[in-house]
Amino acid sequence: MKSIILIAPPSAGKGTISKILCEEYRLPHISTGDLLRNATLNDDEQGNYIKQQMNLGNLVSDDIIISLVENRIMDNDCTNGYILDGFPRNLKQAKHYDNFIAKKNINMGIVVLLDIAREEAKQRILGRVSCSNCGAVFNLYSNDTRPRIAGLCDRCGATLTRREDDNSDVFDIRFSTYLKETKPVADYYESKGLLYKIDSSVPLPKVLEQVEEIIRREND
């Protein structure tokens, strides 16, 4: 089974797609966010540094991110493939990753860009609400995922709430960061003939269908 790199702007559905694929194909999910949070549990110099930077709202250095990902990939459960979510985030990380897998004789795998227009992504963010009890997620601007009763969860009837960072200013910063840092990674892999581009503005089942077709084609 080939590994999968998922690249996406904010609110393109990368986290949801990653979770579904990991469960369906029994692949380990390698998320830089999870790796950093796990590292903060270690009472050592690196763990304390990461914790401090995260508490201050600062980005952790590329070198640490790269080291954490490379160490994770060498775990036994990654032998038959894995899904990278949030890595590589910039060109430096991408080139380090390419060199690393070449040295370790690891297959490059599949690179998928979940593409979505800025305004569509923004609408998803600004319309997103979630259940305070069961965690179900809805969107006020989508006919498919709008709650039947305004303000209440369809599943359990609890109150729906909005995340504090689901606002226009935060979205604009995140999307601009994506265009500056991560979009060049997609362009880099496209120039190497490795990128699959999928329109993730369509309903989730259609997005998943397209990703699974790529996986089947690449693993035949």
Known catalytic residues are 14, 89, 128, 163, 174
CA neighbours within 13 Å on the CB side: how many for 38? 11
Angle ∠(212,78,209) on CA atoms, nearest 5? 5
DSSP labels, 135-202: --EEETT-TTT--SSTTB-TTT-PBEE--TT-SHHHHHHHHHHIIIIIHHHHHHHHHTT-EEEEETTS
Report whether 20 contacts 215 (CB < 8 A).
no
Distance between CA atoms of 138 and 124, rounded to whole angstroms? 10
Distance between CA atoms of 52 and 33, rounded to whole angstroms? 15
Please state the φ and ψ torsions of residue 129, each to the nearest 5 degrees: -135, 155
* C-alpha distances in Å from residue 83, one per residue of 93, 111, 168: 16, 10, 30
In the three-class reduction of DSSP (H, G, I as helix; E, B as strand; rest coil), residue 218 is classed as helix
Report whether 203 contacts 118 (CB < 8 A).
no
